[in-house]
Amino acid sequence: YEAVIETNNEAVLCRRALSESGLLPDPYLNLFHIHVRSEPVSPLLKRGTFIRTKAIDRALLNLITGGVNQVIVLGAGYDTRW
Using pLDDT thresholds of 50, 70 and 90, give the confidence band for residue 75: confident
pLDDT tens digit sequence for 2-27: 888 788 888 888 888 898 899 999 88
Report CA-CA distances (Å) from 30 to 4, 36, 51: 20, 11, 22
The verdict on pTM exceeding 0.85 is: no
pLDDT tens digit sequence for 41-53: 899 999 999 999 9
Q: Is the dihedral of CA 45, 50, 52, 53 positive or negative?
A: positive
Residue whose C-alpha is closest to residue 38's, from 17, 59, 61: 17
